[in-house]
Amino acid sequence: MQKRKLCGNILVNPIGFGGIPIQRISFEEASAVLTLCLDKGINFFDTARGYTDSEEKIGKAISHRRKEFFIATKSTERTKEGMEKEIETSLKNLKTEKIDLYQLHGVKDLGDFANLMKKDGAYHALKEAKEKGKITHIGITGHKPEVILKAIETKNFETIQIPYNIIESQFEKAIEKANELGVGVIVMKPLAGGAFKNSRAALKWVLNQDVSVAIPGMQTLKEVEENASLAENYELSENEKNKLKQEAKAMDKNICRRCEYCTNNCPQHIDIMRTILFHSYYKRYNLKEWAKERYLKTVKIKPDVCIDCGRCEEVCPYGLPIRKLLKEAMEDMG
Q: Which domains does the chain have, with CATH numbers?
A: 4-243 (3.20.20.100), 261-333 (no CATH)
Query: Above 80 in pLDDT, residue 285?
Result: no
Share of the chain above pLDDT 90, in %: 88
Going by C-alpha positions, the residue among 126, 131, 123, 64 that lies closest to residue 101 is: 126
Q: What is the pTM of this model?
A: 0.89
Going by C-alpha positions, the residue among 55, 47, 111, 103 that lies closest to residue 77 is: 103
pLDDT confidence tier of residue 1, bands split at 50, 70 and 90: confident
Each residue's pLDDT tens digit, 155-196: 999 999 999 999 988 999 999 999 999 999 999 999 987 788
288 CB-contact burial (10 Å; exposed 0-12 / middle 13-18 / buried 19+): middle
Query: Above 80 in pLDDT, residue 151?
Result: yes
Mean pLDDT over all residues of the chain?
95
Helix 199-207 crosses helix 221-229 at what angle (to 10 degrees)? 40
Q: SS3 for 96? A: coil
* Overall average pLDDT of the 115-140 stretch: 98
Q: What does the alpha-carbon distance between residue 122 and residue 110 come to, in Å, rounded to a whole number?
A: 15
Query: Above 90 in pLDDT, residue 36?
Result: yes
Query: Above 80 in pLDDT, residue 252?
Result: no
Q: Please report, for residues 88, 172, 204, 245, 257, the alpha-carbon distance to residue 166 in angstroms, rounded to integers and kept in the order given.
A: 37, 11, 10, 8, 12
Query: Given this model, what pLDDT does residue 304 score?
Result: 95
Task: Show Cβ contacts of residue 286 under 8 Å, excluding neighbours closer than 6 positions.
Answer: 24
CB crowding 81-110: b at 16 or more within 10 Å, else e = eebbebbeebbebbbbeebbbbbbbbbbee
DSSP 100-157: EEEEE----SHHHHHHHTSTTBHHHHHHHHHHTTSEEEEEEE-S-HHHHHHHHHHT--
* Overall average pLDDT of the 242-258 stretch: 86
Task: Show Cβ contacts of residue 238 under 8 Å, excluding neighbours closer than 6 positions.
Answer: none
Query: Given this model, what pLDDT does residue 235 score?
Result: 95
Query: Above 80 in pLDDT, residue 311?
Result: yes
Work out whether strand 70-75 and strand 213-214 pair parallel, antiparallel, or are unpaired: unpaired
Query: Given this model, what pLDDT does residue 256 score?
Result: 86
pLDDT confidence tier of residue 312, bands split at 50, 70 and 90: very high
